[in-house]
Amino acid sequence: MQNELPNADLESPAPVLPTPAPAPVKLTEVSSLTLEGLTRFLTEELGERSFRAGQLYRWMHQRGATSFDEMTDLSKALREKLKQRAEIVPLVKDAEQRSVDGTIKYRWKTRDGRYIESVYMPSEDRKTLCVSTQVGCAMACTFCMTGTLGLKRNLTPGEIVAQVHAVNREVRKNEGLETLRPLSNLVFMGMGEPLHNFENLKTSLAILQSQDGPNFSHRHITVSTVGLVPMIERFGQETDVKLAISLNASTDEQRSKTMPVNRKWNIAALLDACRKFPLRQGRRITFEYVLLRDFNDTDEDAARLIQLLEGIPAKVNLIPYNENPGLGFQTTMDQRAERFRELLCEGHVAAFIRQNRGRDIAGACGQLANRGGENASESSQSPELP
């Protein structure tokens, strides 16, 4: 026998069920895509013609546009579609500090409330930006304030590149310049270990070097590493920009005390990777050597350094230490630094004392730590080295 529905059910109105909220659409971070990736996104995901990718890319990476509304030569319909499906990752200026020497340190707030810093260093013949690649750093070098933060997260390619666009905007405004890209040089020596965020670094370099983007020459970009040995090989094979090694010691004992990475890859392993590095003709590897008083700045250190660098096309940048409260090291006296430089030169190693920029605003090497920001109070990720 068939079941019959009771009449009452037929007569009563259908229950009103709550409409489930639509699943949030994950926005594609288009400012993190190379031109090829952006072309794929526009044609395959949005059904647009490929030339639109070039227009969008140039808006983001030549003019530094931070919203789709600025892109007036894109149709309104396309701009609306982009707003529904894509985003340009913004960095909001949170603070700026100006040094007496013209250096400006910028602190940016990321979308998820993190803080990073970039340092603008103008000089007569160049305008250089020191760029960050991570929020905090896992490498824990004991002389460095960033190292005390631990690693919070990697920056996306869009966030790395956004520092360059934002400072270009600032320089244009501050210095009354018309040129779209006043910055001439980039050094990846800000917060973080660039090779510990290699894929995002590589994508950001591809964007920064692209002709439809800011078009930086490989000669004007330097990436500095503490010495993640397997990544140095990949870096040499997959990019063409300049390499700097943060060496800072003449013995493993010294280096392991200040740079924990040395316990995994010691000086011999690091210099072996440097000897195998595919250098372009006429190019040298820069070795950075932070001078720490009575720790690594003796005549014996200079003699050992000469021996270590034998056979490597090298130049040494000697960096007088910027004292950081609580980290326990002192800066080398000027005379001692000069003597150290002379000894290296006598041993046929090109050596320079690097002018310290932005010391008075804690914007110099090893001093970036988001003072006033919030990163320092959070827990951090443990390092995962390649």
Taking CB under 6 A as the rule, does residue 227 contact ligand SF4?
Answer: no
At 66, the amino acid letter reads: T
Please state, in angstroms and as integers, the Cα–Cα distance from residue 50 to each residue in 36, 47, 53, 187, following that order: 10, 9, 6, 33
Residue with smaller CB distance to ligand SF4, 140 or 318: 140
Region from 144-152, 231-239, 270-278, 298-306 binding ligand SF4, contact rule CB under 6 A: 144-152
Residues 347-386 that bind ligand SF4 (CB under 6 A): 366
Q: Residue from 31, 110, 133, 146 that binds ligand SF4 (CB under 6 A)?
A: 146
Among 121, 139, 274, 337, binds ligand SF4 (CB under 6 A): 139
Is residue 224 a known part of a binding site?
yes
Question: Residue 144, annotated ligand binder?
Answer: yes
141 is an annotated ligand-binding site residue: yes
Asked if 137 is part of the footprint of ligand SF4 (rule: CB under 6 A), the reply reads yes
Q: Which of 87, 117, 159, 170 is catalytic?
A: 117
Instruction: Based on the shown chain and the rule CB under 6 A, indicate whether residue 141 belongs to the binding site for ligand SF4.
Output: yes
C-beta closer to ligand SF4: residue 103 or 146: 146
Concerning whether 274 is annotated as a catalytic residue, the answer is: no
CB of 193 to ligand SF4, least distance (A): 4
The answer to whether 67 and 81 have CB atoms below 8 angstroms apart is no
Least spacing, CB of residue 176 vs ligand SF4, in Å: 34
Report which residue type is found at 20: P
Catalytic residue among 48, 87, 170, 365: 365
> Does 192 appear as a known binding residue?
yes
Pattern 151-190, ligand SF4, x by CB under 6 A: ----------------------------------------
Q: Answer yes or no: is 322 a known binding residue.
A: yes
Name residues contacting ligand SF4, limited to 272-291 (CB under 6 A). none
Q: One symbol per residue from 88 to 127: x for binding ligand SF4 (CB under 6 A), - otherwise; what is it?
A: ----------------------------------------
* Per-residue binding letters, 38-77, with ligand SF4 (x by CB under 6 A): ----------------------------------------
Ligand-binding site membership of 193 (annotated): yes
The answer to whether 274 is a known ligand-binding residue is: no
147 binds ligand SF4 (CB under 6 A): yes
Taking CA atoms, 173 is separated from 45, 64, 107, 177, in Å, by 37, 13, 17, 7
- Residue 137 Cβ vs ligand SF4, minimum distance, rounded to whole Å: 3
- CA distances (Å), 5 to each of 235, 262, 320, in order? 73, 79, 89
Backbone angles phi, psi at 193, to 5 degrees: -105, 110
Q: Which residues are annotated as part of the binding site for S-adenosyl-L-methionine?
A: 192-193, 224, 246-248, 322
Residues forming the active site: 117, 365
Footprint on this chain of ligand SF4 (rule: CB under 6 A): 137, 139-141, 144, 146-147, 191-193, 226, 366
